[in-house]
Amino acid sequence: MLDSYRRVFSHPGSLAFSATGVLARLPLAMMTLGIVILVSTLSGSYALAGQVSAAYVIGNAVVAIPHGRLADRFGQTIVLYVDAVLFAVFTALLVRSVTGDWANPWPHLLAALTGAAMPQIGSLVRARWAHLVPEEQRHTAFAVEAVGDEVVFVTGPSVVTFLSTLYAPQTGLLVALGVGTVGTLLLALQRRTAPPAHPRTGRGPEPLPWRSLVPIALAAVALGALFGALEVATVAVAEDHGHKSVSGVLLGLFSFGSMVAALVAGGIRWKTSDLRRLRVGIAILAAAMSLLPFLDGLVLLGAVLLVVGLALAPTLIAVVSLLEASTPRSRLTEAMAFFQTGISAGLAPGAYLAGLVADHVHGPATYWVCVGSGFLTLVASLLCRPAPVAIPEQATTLPA
């Protein structure tokens, strides 16, 4: 298993951009939960917190695809520089609007602008891997990024919850602002591993594989709704037990289970297809979600979330591999952004519905939103198509 990881990291610059990518996307795991904690603490309403959080993820979803298109066309460097500046400015204004009790819809508008400015680090880093390593190493490379995602989601919720509950409620978002801006700028400086720009030609861009892309995007929407509902429901359940600060630890356990599974999955040479692994993983995840509404104690809830997380990373690795194998190289970042857009689009209704339920129904019943989302994800996965037969390609070799 270690040999697989050693091979992908033997490529010049791979360790640097992968590690920087983890730092740069740390706000991804901090922003929505930080908004929920900040708004619910100062306003006392989970419904309002869900609305502002939903505005943030909607803004992120709307702009994710144009982000990918611009990165493919003009290169990653300029896009990252612009994102870093705009994200810092709008996040600071969002925090000021909530703490300063600005009238609606200012918090909603600034949350949407913050989401729109959020750099699409996951898509950009995965596009770097697809450019850098040969086809037979991409499964492991995508597993590396799945581990990075879970490191982010293990540490992010715990950090933002700890900072926002121990100090001022806006502290977590301000730390996310600083870390995200620095990480994005550091990634922008690494031009050597960035894939080349693909300027438009007279023939126009290569077509996207819509018959493969649309079902994957639909599955991503349902999966995003599950994630959004899981965050809000876990915060609400922890507060019902009088331990709101524990919510970050509970969500961290879910991500830790996924991280362990990603490490193992990345070193395995799978004989089953990406599509089959995607469907099996989602089926397991959906079935496991059905247990959550019946759990009452926080210790038991944490143990189940840890086990449930084991099904997540292998599923995400499979869907990214399926997407990469189905998409022209000149539009890969844009196609990756469709998946990210689906996740973001699902986060909004998932968080909002869970917020509504949490305001009216106390206890683990809030998790029924997660159960419904898991079932919809399973249905969408059945519509996904296998990747076309691969065309042999030469590996990209960077100069030493």
Contacts of 82 (CB under 8 A, 6+ apart): none
Question: Alpha-carbon distance 53 to 72, whole Å?
Answer: 29
Q: How many CA atoms lie within 13 A of 181 on its CB side?
A: 15
Query: Is 385 exposed, middle or buried, given 0-12, 13-18 or 19+ CB atoms closer than 10 A?
Result: middle
Instruction: Determine phi and psi for 122, rounding to 5 degrees.
Output: -60, -45
Contacts of 4 (CB under 8 A, 6+ apart): 137, 140, 266, 267
Closest alpha carbon to 150 in 7, 277, 251, 237:
251
pLDDT at 375: 92
pLDDT at 202: 54
Question: Alpha-carbon distance 10 to 400, whole Å?
Answer: 11
How many of the other CB atoms lie within 10 Å of CB of 356? Answer: 17
Closest alpha carbon to 77 in 124, 30, 142:
124
Q: Which CA distances in Å does 8 have to 15, 48, 63? A: 9, 45, 31
**Per-10-residue mean pLDDT, the chain, length 400:** 82 92 90 89 84 85 82 88 94 94 91 92 88 83 82 80 86 93 94 82 66 86 89 85 80 83 76 84 90 87 88 83 77 77 78 84 84 92 76 42
pLDDT at 203: 60
Q: Which CATH class is domain 2-197+208-381?
A: mainly alpha
33-64 burial, b if ≥16 CB within 10 A, otherwise e?
A: bbbbbbbbbeeeebbbbbbbbbbbbbbbbebb
Ordered by start, the domain boundaries in the chain are 2-197+208-381
pLDDT at 253: 86
Measured torsion, CA atoms of residues 393, 395, 399, 400, in degrees rounded to the nearest 10: -170
Map tokens 């600060």 to a residue: 245
pLDDT at 396: 43
Terminal-residue alpha carbon distance, the chain: 26
Query: Is 216 exposed, middle or buried, given 0-12, 13-18 or 19+ CB atoms closer than 10 A?
Result: buried
Contacts of 337 (CB under 8 A, 6+ apart): 64, 65, 67, 68, 69, 120, 123
